[in-house]
Structure 1
Amino acid sequence: MSLRPHTEVAVILRCERIDNRWQPWRWSLADVVPHEEAFGTAPRLLLQDALEERWLFPDMAVELFRDDAEGYYLNLASPAPCWFVLWRLDEEAPEGQRPLARPVAVSLSYHDAGRWLDAQETVEQVPAPAPVREWLQAFVDLHYQPEPRRRRRPQSFQPLLDRFGNPASVSTDKQRGGAHG
């Protein structure tokens, strides 16, 4: 593991039966919890009945990067700071079995979530607990530097343009109103 601040988590994904002829099952993110040694490192089935399955995917690292402090700040500034989880369906499901969803990455950065969504990935979120928010806030306090505000140029100093964006000039010697002198 690197020297960057990090935490180990486990992701719980839920597969629920839905009443749909085209898609009888739907995967969704259930929770992100602190990793425990007892979880091991291999995915395992936690619950299975006629209506749902819950799978635990342990030992996922979440690292904090100094150059992404703004992404963490944006998460903390939101009404509900959260974990972002990117997950994908297994491409290699055994014949006749439902594909297993697997988490690929977990982050606390709005920027990461945005990049993943732009790439058409499946990204879901769950609320981050208070100890995680406090840990993230300490990191943001140490590394986030807001962009300095740029002074806006007064309107009187803006160049005059016509409606097509071409330079325009103002003349004071032209007669108005059709009166010819």
Structure 2
Amino acid sequence: MPLGVVMRRTPGVTRWARWHWIASGILPGAQAADWRELRRDGETVEYHADTVPLTLWATDTEAYRVGLADNPPCIYVILREATATDARMPYEVHLVTASPYEAQDYADSGEEIVEKVPMSAGLIAWVQAFIDTHHEDEVFIKRRRDKKRVDLVEDGIGDSRIEQLTDVYRAPRRKAGLQ
């Protein structure tokens, strides 16, 4: 599903940051956009920054269930600093995800900005319908130790060319005078 990302620019509160940017909303089913101005209130401006696809995977339904259990359920917007030298705006929308696990992976890297944006009721229903269709509970299987005997004598440890018994793992040295 295509999701439009709404970015809000407000004046910064320090002299070092002129503007403060946050992802303030999402537009389900939005058309393509390139930082189109949506609303202006004094110096506060909201832009439809970009439209990116929200892709759901059948293997990630457990993560989507965790995300829907959050209060409120959220979409995670992953932002990167603009790399183009002629970029009009400081950020690029990298992706949107409904998985809090995937969002955590991006947050751990420290290179991207991860913003939480509340889901609309229609988007919650769409994700829930996907989960209902594709979720399969995984049976927990406890790992068992192998039945290897650890009390047996180990033969063949170390290098047979070493005559002393003190360090069987030591590598042999070249004897003096031999080349």
Query: Are the structure 2 counterparts of residues 22 and 51 from structure 1 closer, same or farther at C-alpha, using a change threshold of 3 Å?
Result: same
C-alpha RMSD of matched pairs (Å): 2.5
- For the pair 1:76 / 2:74, whether they are aligned, the reply is no
Shift in Å, 1:128 = 0.6
1:112-155 CA-to-partner distances (Å, cap 9, x unmatched) read: 1111111112101111111111111111122223333567xxxx
Q: Provide the identity percentage.
A: 27
Listed as ranges, the gaps of 5+ residues in structure 1 are 1-6, 152-181
CA distance in 2, matches of 1:36, 1:119: 29
Of the candidates 134, 140, 156, which is equivalent to residue 131 of structure 2?
A: 140
1:55-109 CA-to-partner distances (Å, cap 9, x unmatched) read: 1134311111111111111101222111110012323355xx9743221101111
3-state SS of 1:76 partner: helix
- For the pair 1:53 / 2:56, whether they are aligned, the reply is no
Letter in 1 for 2:101: H
Corresponding residue number in structure 2 for 1:100: 90
Letter in 2 for 1:136: V
Shift in Å, 1:44 = 1.6
Query: Are the structure 2 counterparts of residues 18 and 61 from structure 1 closer, same or farther at C-alpha, using a change threshold of 3 Å?
Result: same
Listed as ranges, the gaps of 5+ residues in structure 2 are 143-179
CA distance in 1, matches of 2:101, 2:119: 16
CA distance in 2, matches of 1:107, 1:62: 6
Corresponding residue number in structure 2 for 1:157: none
> Which TM-score applies when normalising by structure 1?
0.68
Letter in 1 for 2:51: D
Of the candidates 68, 82, 85, which is equivalent to residue 77 of structure 2?
A: 85
Decide which structure has the larger Cα Rg and report it.
Answer: 2
Of the candidates 122, 125, 134, which is equivalent to residue 131 of structure 1?
A: 122
Corresponding residue number in structure 1 for 2:154: none
Corresponding residue number in structure 1 for 2:169: none
> Which TM-score applies when normalising by structure 2?
0.69
Letter in 2 for 1:133: I
Aligned pairs (5 A) from 1:1-181: 7-37=1-31, 40-48=32-40, 50-94=42-86, 99-120=89-110, 121-149=112-140
Out of 42-51 and 27-36, give the one that drifted further. Answer: 42-51
Count of residue correspondences: 143
